[in-house]
A and B are shown apart, each in its own frame.
Chain A
C-alpha cells in the first residue's frame, strides 16, 4: 500500500531553516510527482511547489521563490522540502502529497485524474518562535 511518512515536528528560531522529509513506499517512486502543501493554524491549504522525483526538476509557488528548495534521493525514495529565512508566519503543518503519474517522459492524464492527491503524508508541524 502507498505510504508517505514524514519527519517529526520541528521548532525553529526566526531566520533559521528547516528541512522536512517525506519517505515514499508501496509504489514506483520515480513515477509520481510529489507536491508540498502547508496549512497555518486555523487556515486553509496552500500549495508550495512540486518536484519530479525522476529528474529532480522543480516548480515553486511565486510566494516561496528564493526561500524554498525541494530535492529528492532516489536511493531512499525520499523527497525533501527546505524552507529558509523562517518567520513566525511560516508556523504551519507541512504536507507532502502524491500528484501526477508520469513515466518514460510522458504524463498520463487519465491516471493522474484518478490518483491526484489521493495520498498524503501525515504532516509535519513546524513552529517558528523566538
Chain B
C-alpha cells in the first residue's frame, strides 16, 4: 500500500497567515492526489483534485501543487472559516490512502 505522510499533524495560525500543508507519498502517484477540508461533524469537502485543480466554488486562496511523491496545499491568507482538519488522498493505485490529517487551529 502507498503510505501518505502528512505534515504537520497540527498547527496554529492567525487570520491572514499563509499556511502550507505537505503530503509525501511512499512511491510515485503522478497527480492522483486530492485535498479535503473537514469541519467537526461535517462531511469532507473536496478542495483540490488532480493535485492542483481547484474545485468549483472553492475560494482562490486555496491552491495545490506537486507531482510524483511531494504535494502541498497552500492557503494564501487564512480566513476564520478555514480553521478545520485537512486530508490528502492518493488514488493512483489501490487501495486509495488518506494522509492522517492536519488540524489547523486558531492562534
Contact = CB atoms under 8 A, between A and B. Distances in A.
Contacts of A121: 43
B44 A120 contact: yes
A121 B94 CA distance: 22
The majority secondary structure among interface residues of chain B is loop
B43 A116 contact: no
The interface size bin for chain A is 10 to 19
The interface size bin for chain B is 20 to 34
Contact of B98 (A44, A59, A99): A44
Nearest to B51: A113
A117 interface: yes
Interface of B: 31-32, 34, 36, 43-44, 46, 49-50, 53, 55, 87, 89, 91, 94-101
Interface of A: 35, 44-47, 59, 61, 95, 99, 113-118, 120-123
